[in-house]
């Protein structure tokens, strides 16, 4: 049974991240949006307080903590709590946190023990260097139909040769390692999709354009080009086992990554919505004239009540999906429910905040216009709201596809 009472460590993370967000992140939000980058001092502070660099994935399999009274890990729940509060300060800052990023759940889902130690271990090195990981799946010719990958991987002796273009890669330009998805044989469909680790500086692996975006402007989003990129055999996640017939290692691994990342993305969207809600609530208490017509004051009060209700419902959905992941309980449906619900609710909250504040809400004198721009992407990346509803419906009707579980992802 899920317990809504946070553990002492989780409450500590909640308080610390909230304080850091208000004191060290929020003051830089407007300038970072204007400049298109987060100040390096903020990023170094994040690393200094332990907010980045660890190789423990969001989405580990619920192993027990040694000597901790057999309590399950709280990696996912704590990560979602921290993400919400950091986004409360500024959503782009979370994208700038040093560490393996989405490379971590992908490597943990598909990699061998040696591969996990090798590539995630570099993020635990205490040499003062800021290291990043990235995840390259999306391509220009397909959106949510992830089976349509055109990037190819051809075996040549003891190497793989990768060719293709990837787009919308968070931290792709700065990443030390990138998990790249490619097909070894298009005719194999999803069975042909495999994941490879490509290291920064590999010949033929270059950065294309850096995207200019509507929101989260201080987050780097890059195009990656692979032109006859050669990687050793052991850069294939899962090793030789991934090549066995009927093994959908790459595709299934990508879906497992989403099971971990979607609650996190939902939490980030929730943090933006919470920021807008608290800001407009304070504005109403401070700025609304005392003589304002009672009916209109009541309308505003009821709107605020609706906003808080939606945010709290979103939070419990996020926590439930994270709670399940921490215990190794399959959470595909719940992760998609959180991802479908929370960003949409947060978007509505941000829109209502702008409306309540009127012209002031549209002005750059206030951050609500920025949050309104920032929130939209959270309903798009990691699978659009429409795709989440498809995933949910297929899980509900999953008995129709029992002969092939991969069909319902």
DSSP 8-state class, residue 189: G
| Token pair belonging to 120 | 């995630």
The answer to the question of residue 106 being in a domain is: no
33's enclosing H/E stretch is helix 29-35
The CA distance from 393 to 332, in Å, is: 11
Structure-token pair, residue 214: 């509507």
Cβ contacts of 212 within 8 Å, gap of 6 or more: none
Active-site pick, 139, 223, 334, 382: 382
Of 248, 279, 303, the domain-final residue: 248
Instruction: Choose the final residue of a domain: 196, 220, 248.
Output: 248
Q: Is 64 part of any domain?
A: yes
Do residues 95 and 140 both lie within one domain?
A: no
> For the whole model, what pTM was predicted?
0.88
Helix/strand/coil for 127? coil
Helices 332-357 and 385-396, interaxial angle, to 10°? 140
| 380 and 283 in a common domain | yes
- Tally of structural domains, the chain: 3
Same domain (yes/no): 244, 215:
yes
Tell me, yes or no, if 191 is annotated catalytic: no
Q: How many CB atoms lie within 10 A of CB 404?
A: 9
- Would you write out the chain's pLDDT as a tens digit for each of its 409 residues? 556 788 999 999 999 999 999 998 999 999 999 999 988 888 888 777 766 543 333 333 334 443 444 566 888 999 999 999 999 999 998 888 899 988 998 898 899 999 999 999 998 877 878 899 999 999 998 767 777 899 999 999 999 999 999 999 999 999 999 999 999 998 888 889 999 999 999 999 999 999 999 999 999 999 999 999 999 999 999 998 888 765 556 666 677 778 888 999 999 999 999 999 999 999 998 887 666 777 778 899 999 999 999 999 999 999 999 999 999 899 999 999 999 999 999 999 999 999 999 999 999 999 999 999 999 999 998 888 988 999 999 898 874 455 444 444 4
Instruction: Check residue 103 and give its pLDDT.
Output: 92
Furthest C-alpha separation in the chain = 80
| Cα 273 to Cα 324: distance, rounded to the nearest angstrom | 24
Could you tell me the residue range of the domain that residue 278 belongs to?
A: 250-408
Give me 373's structure tokens.
């721009």
By C-alpha distance, which of 258, 281, 280 is closest to 340? 258
Distances (CA, A) of 207 to 66, 93, 173, 224, 235: 43, 22, 6, 5, 20
């Amino acid at each position: 049974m899920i317990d809504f009472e946070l553990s002492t460590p989780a409450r500590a993370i909640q308080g610390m991240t909230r304080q850091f967000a208000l004191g060290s992140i929020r003051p830089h939000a407007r300038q970072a949006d204007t400049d298109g980058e987060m100040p390096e001092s903020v990023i170094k502070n994040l690393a200094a307080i332990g907010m980045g660099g660890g190789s423990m994935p969001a989405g580990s399999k619920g192993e027990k903590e040694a000597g901790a009274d057999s309590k399950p890990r709280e990696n996912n729940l704590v990560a979602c709590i921290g993400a919400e509060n950091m986004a409360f300060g500024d959503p782009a800052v979370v994208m700038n946190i040093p560490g393996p990023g989405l490379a971590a759940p992908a490597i943990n889902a598909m990699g061998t023990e040696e591969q996990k130690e090798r590539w995630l271990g570099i993020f635990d090195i205490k040499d003062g260097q800021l290291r990043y990981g990235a995840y390259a799946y999306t391509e220009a010719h397909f959106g949510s139909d992830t089976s349509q990958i055109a990037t190819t991987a051809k075996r040549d002796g003891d190497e793989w040769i990768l060719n293709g273009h990837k787009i919308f890669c968070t931290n792709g330009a700065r990443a030390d390692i990138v998990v790249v998805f490619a097909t070894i044989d298009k005719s194999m469909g999803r069975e042909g999709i495999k994941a490879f680790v490509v290291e920064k500086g590999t010949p033929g692996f270059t950065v294309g354009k850096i995207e200019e975006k509507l929101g989260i402007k201080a987050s780097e989003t890059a195009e990656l080009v692979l032109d006859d990129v050669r990687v050793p055999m052991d850069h294939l996640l899962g090793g030789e086992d991934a090549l066995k017939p009927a093994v959908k290692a790459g595709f299934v691994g990508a879906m497992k990554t989403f099971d971990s990342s979607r609650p996190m993305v939902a939490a980030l969207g929730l943090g933006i919505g919470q920021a807008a809600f608290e800001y407009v609530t304070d504005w109403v208490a401070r700025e609304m004239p005392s003589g304002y017509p009672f009916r209109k004051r009541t309308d505003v009060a009821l709107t605020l009540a609706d906003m808080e209700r939606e945010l709290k419902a979103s939070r419990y959905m996020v926590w439930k999906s994270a709670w399940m992941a921490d215990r190794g309980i399959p959470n595909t449906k719940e992760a998609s429910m959180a991802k479908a619900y929370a960003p949409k609710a947060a978007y509505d909250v941000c829109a209502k905040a702008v409306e309540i504040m009127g012209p002031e809400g549209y002005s750059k004198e206030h951050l609500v216009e920025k949050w309104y721009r920032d929130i939209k992407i959270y309903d798009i990346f990691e699978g659009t709201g429409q795709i989440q509803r498809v995933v949910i419906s297929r899980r509900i009707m999953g008995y129709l596809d029992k002969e092939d579980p991969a069909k319902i992802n």
